[in-house]
Chain A
Amino acid sequence: MSDKPSDLVQGTLEMLVLKTLALEPMHGFGVALRIEQISSGVFRVNPGSLFPAFNRLERAGRIKAEWRSTENNRRAKYYVLTDSGRKALKEETREWGRQIAAISRILEA
């Protein structure tokens, strides 16, 4: 955690959110925390971009929201991946992989 947190690569936030939710339904902070932890603190997600991303994904039908109670018995909005979200994640992951591979090839050439 010595480095400063980086900005996310443009357009990847939604993919990361989908990936995070693919494990289990989570609330907003849970998603933010999970992304931060898994990236070992490289990415820190700002609520100002996270919540609009939830809104967009929900509009697109990739996730849906439901109110559940948390482990310490508070009401929170949980986001659940839908079938179409799962499909989109697969698609985006494959596309991302192709692009990364291509970029790496260029950088290593």
Chain B
Amino acid sequence: MRPLRAFLMGLKALCHKDQRNRDLDEELSGYIEAAAQEKMRGGMNHEEALSAARAEMGTMETVKQQVRSSGWESLAESIWQDIRYGLRQLIHSPGFTVTAVLTLALGIGANTAIFTLMHAVMLKQLPIANPHQLYRVGEGEYYCCEWGGLEGSWGTFDYPFYKHLRDTNPSFEQLAAFSGGTTSFNIRRAGSSGSAQTAGGEYVSGNYFATLGIQASLGRLIHPSDDQSEAAAVAVMSYRTWKEKYGADPAIVGTTISLDGQPVTLIGIAPEGFFGDRLSAYPPELWIPLSQEPAFEGNGQKSILNSSGDAWLYVTGRLKQGAVPAQVQAQLTTDIQHWLQSERKLNKDDLADLPKQHIQLTPGGTGISSFRSSSKNGLYLLSAASALVLLIACANLANLLLARSTARQHQTALRLSLGASRARLIRAVLTESVLLSAIGGLAGLLLAYLGTRAILLIVFRGATYVPVHATPSLPIFAFALLLSVLTGVIFGIAPAWIGTHADPSKGLRAASRSATHHSAKPQKILIILQAALSIILLAVAGLVTQSLRNLEKTDLGFQTQGRLLASISFKAAGYKPEQLPARYEELQHRLELIPGVRSASLSLNSPQNLCCVNLGVTIGGRTDKWIEDVNIVYNRVSPHYFQTLGTPLLRGRAITDQDTQASQHVAVVDESFARTFFPGEDAIGKRFGMSLPGHGYDYQIIGIVRDAKYKNPSITASPTMFLPFTQTTQFGPSGYQRLETGTLYAQSIQLSVTGAPEGYEKPLINALASVDPNLSVVRVITYSEQIATQFNQERLIARLTGLFSLLALVLASIGLYGVTAYNVTRRVNEIGTRMALGASRGNIVSMVLRGAFSQVAIGICIGLPLAILIGRYLAHQLYAVSRFDPLVLGLSAFVLCACALIAGLFPARRAASIEPMEALRIE
């Protein structure tokens, strides 16, 4: 009540300032009058009494000031005064203001843009209820861990272990499982005769939606009762797919749709903002209960639902109130070790590794994002780089403000001597700097929005859906605001402190010359700081760019020009394994008939795309233990595959039409396969097989091809083997049998063409449709574009650090120029005297340049060791970059020196053009 009244009355006083002023005047003159009357009673005459009363009161203005400052509004008023004063100052020096605002906008904009990405990728929670309660059992992302083996730190699990956890672990309220990746389905509305569409579906446990705590936007979501082997087949559709592919037609809910030819009831639509459990450019469009997996995978051995040892499920749960994550983690680790021991047939080596098996509990609220885990380091690097840019910008502005405050020394001294308190003066200067940074921050927000959009376009190049938005949200605004204010204080505090540190008497007596002397030192320190930071940024940008250059220059071992790549799903089109070989042959023949197509091929995987199936092999007659520990990349290819990709066949022959089920089972291997297993001998004719007892002679090596990079070049390549689609081996019930049938489905088509590959997209799609209208292409892309998208992140990071270091360089150069030019102006007299005493113009130029260079040199001396240190740390994250790169470091130092030379040359020339007589006359 009382603070409210005080506030209201203060507000009234502010609004009716004139009225209040008049009242106070009247009251005070009344007081003097009354005091005089009193004194006249004591015997004074009117004149004497009045002047005595006035003398007792002091000046009326002082009393009024005292009354005014007894309320809160006086503080508000003086801050408002400071703001108006600050704005006036800024308007009076537009050059300074524009420079400062631009500098700040760039600095704050860069930081805000990077923060927007950080926020979206690493901090933002999934649109689900109480995401902080969600924990994921395990860590990391796996694509290809379907066959057993011990993971060490576990990330994916088989269904039996999930069931065991779900039913026995007491720490979770709910524990859900999902397949993580999506499977392509052919989807068709009941009664529709149009061509089928492809939709990515994710298998989820019945309590998936309940665990995430989300509600259907229409219909209902999957319940635990849907996830039973005898339950009716159901599916839930994503909001985006419903809207974009089905025009948000509410009638579709409850109808039967056909998925890969099987009738499924579409029971509901997921909420609008929900894109699944991860940030992905290809979010799931359908969610299907786990229990239906066998039905879609042919009910036979291909199904992995009930098999033991095939880790394909991600597990996420809601921790119970009061459960301690560290304890739950320990309990899970004990659990998996016991489980492995009792449920799996572990061999001697596995048993030795058992104590190393553990489960990490990771916060699950932000989703499992491959983008996040792979870009985490890059984002940290970028935030550090943008922070450095902002620091350099701060140093620049501090320098500018220092120069200004020196120029205002006289004025400051005058104010101090007139009774202004130093605190008030500091506040005024700080208000001005915070004002500047606030304006800069606003401009920075705009820059950040545009910047983020550009960044997203690069990162998600070629993606149909961008899971990150550039539009600033509340946290982004808060970040920018906080950063602006902080920046303003950081670059304002030193000039405010130094600038108001004037002895009034001295400042008034002397011209500004003597007072300026002591501010030269902080300016020099700031320049040294800028130089040091710039060299660090330049060196880092150099390393990152070098890494990208190395990546792009890597010999991939195949041709990317004139190649077209299509992804396709025969499984979704309803093919049985035995139908496939004939269809492949027909399709390949049909594709090679397209005019301009040199050759066409099909394969399970292709380089830099959909990589890879990894496994181990045995070699007939050899028992060395290390052999089965070698990680082998497994692929199936059609005839003409190597010639279509342009991978040279070094020895022997490639796979042809003559390799059939009835003939000798063959394999083509790459150089590193031959080198690893058959060093110093001819691999052709040798036999090997899957690492199962009795399979060591299954395949005979008929050809050796050059190594090609299937994965990211920065990952060490594994030896690779290629099998024909036409030959299969019986393995009995095991993961290998499922692999054998599963890999019969080609996922990729390659074309080698004459002319621009873009022109062949239509003919390719038409050819597919003419062979089978159900065969829908998931994606067509030229191979060079496919390669380009592989390095999106690396390219982005290299470009941005390059951009940031350029910014830093420009800012530092401007700063150096400003300080040098300012010093020349300050030393006109001294220079004049030197010249009068016989110094040549060359002497003067070298004197000025020496001054500029000495600061940069000190900066380089400080920055280089730091840059080396950072380089050593970064090198292992970069590709083929040495831990100490004298070329990059030397080049960075050289670039900085060159900029220093340019920045110093202009003031030096001006100094040399000083006429001694004129300079001396000024004094």
Interface residues of A (CB under 8 A from B): 27-30, 32-33, 46-49, 51-56, 58-61, 70, 72, 74-77
Nearest to B37 among chain A residues (CB) is A72
- Sample of 11 further A-B pairs with CB below 8 A, known A28-B30, A33-B34, A51-B67: A28-B27, A29-B31, A47-B31, A47-B63, A48-B62, A51-B63, A53-B70, A54-B67, A58-B9, A70-B34, A72-B37
Chain A residues with Cβ below 8 Å from B38 are: 29, 33
Contact flags B1-36 to A (C-beta < 8 A → 1, else 0): 010011001100000000000011011101101110
Q: A45: shortest Cβ distance to chain B, in Å?
A: 11
Q: Contact: A59 with B5, CB < 8 Å?
A: yes
B66 sits at the interface (CB 8 A):
yes
Residue of B nearest to A76 (CB): B30
- With beta carbons under 8 angstroms apart, the residue of B30, B37, B66 that contacts A52 is B66
Considering the chains assembled together, what is the distance between the CA atoms of A29 and B71 in angstroms? 22
Q: For B6, what are the chain A residues with a Cβ–Cβ distance below 8 Å? A: 59-60
Decide if B57 is an interface residue (CB 8 Å cutoff). yes
A residues in contact with B9, CB < 8 Å = 58-59
Q: Which residue of A lies closest to B69 (CB)?
A: A52
Q: Which residues of B contact A61 (CB under 8 A)?
A: 2, 5
Do the beta carbons of A29 and B5 come within 8 Å of each other? no
Task: Quote the shortest CB–CB distance from A71 to chain B (angstroms).
Answer: 10
A82 → B minimal CB distance (Å): 11
Judge whether A74 and B28 touch: CB under 8 Å: no
- Interface-central residue, A30, A47, A58, A77, by most chain B CB under 10 Å: A47
Interface presence of B419 (CB below 8 A): no
Check A75/B71 contact, CB under 8 A, given A29-B34, A29-B35: no
Report chain A residues within 8 Å CB of B5.
Answer: 59-61
Is B66's CB under 8 angstroms from A51's CB?
Answer: yes
Residues of B within 8 A of A33 (CB): 34, 38
Distance (Å) between the CB of B20 and the closest chain A CB? Answer: 10
With A and B bound together, what is the CA distance between A87 and B533 in angstroms? Answer: 65
A55 close to B70 (CB less than 8 A): yes
Docked-complex contact A55 and B71, CB < 8 angstroms: yes
Q: Which residues of A contact B67 (CB under 8 A)?
A: 51-52, 54-55
Q: Which residues of B contact A48 (CB under 8 A)?
A: 57-58, 62-63, 66
Q: In the docked arrangement, what's the CA distance between A60 and B10, Å?
A: 11
21 contacts between A and B (CB under 8 A): A28-B27, A28-B31, A28-B34, A29-B30, A29-B31, A29-B38, A32-B31, A48-B66, A49-B66, A51-B28, A51-B66, A54-B67, A59-B5, A59-B70, A59-B71, A61-B2, A70-B34, A74-B30, A75-B30, A76-B34, A77-B26
**Once the chains bind, are A77 and B23 in contact (CB under 8 Å)?**
yes
Please, which residues of chain B bring their CB within 8 A of the CB of A60? 2, 5-6
Complex-state Cα separation, A75 to B23, whole angstroms: 11
Contacts of A49 in B (CB 8 A): 66
Report Cα–Cα, A5/B33, bound state, in Å. 22
Is A77 within 8 A of B30, CB to CB? yes
Pairs A-B, 9 closest by C-beta atoms: A29-B34, A52-B70, A59-B6, A51-B67, A55-B70, A29-B31, A77-B27, A76-B30, A28-B31
Contact between A30 and B34, CB atoms less than 8 A apart:
yes
- Most chain B CB inside 10 Å of its own CB: which residue of A30, A48, A53, A75: A48
Q: What is the chain B residue whose CB lies nearest that of A33?
A: B38
Tell me how far the C-beta of B32 lies from the nearest C-beta in chain A, rounded to whole angstroms: 8
**Which residues of chain A come closer than 8 Å to B69, judged between CB atoms?**
52
Distance in angstroms between the alpha carbons of A71 and B34 in the assembled complex: 11
- Nearest-neighbour CB distance to chain A for B70, whole angstroms, equals 4
Name the distance in Å between B6's Cβ and chain A's nearest Cβ.
5
Residues in A with CB closer than 8 Å to B30 are: 27-29, 70, 74-77
With a cutoff of 8 Å between Cβ atoms, the chain B residues found around residue A55 in the complex are 67, 70-71
**B66: which A residues are within 8 A, CB to CB?**
48-49, 51-52
CA separation between A74 and B62, bound complex, in Å? Answer: 24
A56 in contact with B70 (CB, 8 Å)? yes
Q: Indicate if the CB atoms of A47 and B34 lie closer than 8 Å.
A: no
What's the nearest-Cβ distance from chain A to residue B12, in Å? 11
User: From residue A69, how far is it (CB to closest CB) to chain B in Å?
Assistant: 11
Instruction: Give every chain A residue within 8 A of B23 (Cβ-Cβ).
Output: 77
Residues of B with C-beta under 8 A to A27: 27, 30-31, 34
CA distance A59 to B71 in the complex (A): 8
A74 and B33 in contact, given A48-B62, A51-B63 (Cβ under 8 angstroms): yes
B17 to chain A, nearest CB (A): 14
Q: Given the complex, which residues of B lie within 8 Å of A53, measured CB to CB? A: 70
From residue 38 to 74 of chain B, which have CB atoms closer than 8 A to chain A? 38, 57-58, 62-63, 66-67, 69-71
The answer for the CA separation of A47 and B71 in the assembled complex, in Å, is 17
Closest-CB distance, A103 to chain B (whole angstroms):
28
Q: How far is the CA of A46 from the CA of B35 in the complex (A)?
A: 12
Question: In chain A, what residue has the closest Cβ to B5?
Answer: A61
Instruction: Tell me, rounded to whole Å, the shortest Cβ–Cβ distance linking B710 to chain A.
Output: 78
A70 to B31, CA, bound (A): 12
Residues of B within 8 A of A51 (CB): 24, 27-28, 63, 66-67
Q: Which residue of A lies closest to B10 (CB)?
A: A59
A47 and B57 contact, CB distance less than 8 A: yes
Q: Which residues of A contact B57 (CB under 8 A)?
A: 46-48
Q: How far is the CA of A59 from the CA of B896 in the complex (A)?
A: 62
Contact of B27 among A56, A58, A70, A76 (CB under 8 A): A76
CA distance A53 to B63 in the complex (A): 11
* A76-B63 Cα distance, complex, nearest whole Å: 17
> Complex: how many Å from CA A76 to CA B23?
10
Residues of A with C-beta under 8 A to B24: 51
- Give Cα distance in the complex from A32 to B26, angstroms: 17
Q: Is the CB of A47 within 8 A of B28?
A: yes
Question: What chain A residues lie within 8 Å of B58 (beta carbons)?
Answer: 46-48
Complexed CA–CA distance, A39 and B503 (Å): 45
Question: A75 with B31: in contact, given A47-B63, A48-B66, A52-B70 (CB under 8 Å)?
Answer: no
Smallest Cβ distance from A107 to chain B, in angstroms?
33
A-side contacts of B37, CB under 8 Å:
72
For the complex, what is the distance from the CA of A5 to the CA of B58, rounded to whole Å? 17
Chain A residues with Cβ below 8 Å from B35 are 29
- Residues from chain A with Cβ under 8 Å of B2 in the complex: 60-61
Q: With both chains docked as a complex, state the minimum distance between the C-beta of A24 and any C-beta of chain B, in angstroms.
A: 16
- CA A52 to CA B10, docked complex, whole Å: 13
- Beta-carbon contacts of B65-89 to A below 8 Å, as 1s and 0s? 0110111000000000000000000
CA distance A54 to B66 in the complex (A): 11
Could you say which residues of chain B place their CB within 8 Å of the CB of A28?
Answer: 27, 30-31, 34
- Closest A residue to B64 by beta carbon equals A51
Interface centre among B5, B34, B38, by most A CB within 10 Å? B34
Q: Chain A's nearest CB lies how many Å from the CB of B768?
A: 84
User: Which residue on A lies nearest to B27, using beta carbons?
Assistant: A77
B34: A residues at CB distance < 8 A? 27-30, 33, 70, 76
User: Which among A27, A28, A55 has the highest number of chain B CB atoms within 10 Å?
Assistant: A55
Q: Which residues of chain B have C-beta atoms less than 8 A from A54's C-beta?
A: 67
User: What's the Cα separation between A22 and B287 when bound, in Å?
Assistant: 80
Chain B residues closer than 8 Å to A29, beta-carbon distance: 30-31, 34-35, 38
Instruction: Name the distance in Å between A27's Cβ and chain B's nearest Cβ.
Output: 7
Collect the chain A residues with CB atoms within 8 Å of residue B26's CB: 75, 77
- Give complex CA distance A55, B62 in Å: 15
Residue with the greatest number of chain A CB neighbours at <10 A, chosen from B10, B27, B58, B71: B27
| Cα–Cα, bound, A59→B68 (Å) | 12
* A47 CA to B34 CA, complexed, in Å: 13
**Shortest CB–CB separation between residue A32 and chain B, in angstroms?**
8
CA distance A10 to B750 in the complex (A): 93
Minimum Cβ distance to chain B for residue A61 (Å): 6
**Chain A residues with CB below 8 A from B33, complex form:** 74
B72, closest chain A residue (CB): A59
A13 to chain B minimum Cβ distance, whole angstroms, is 12
Q: A48 vs B2: C-alpha distance in the bound complex, in angstroms? A: 24
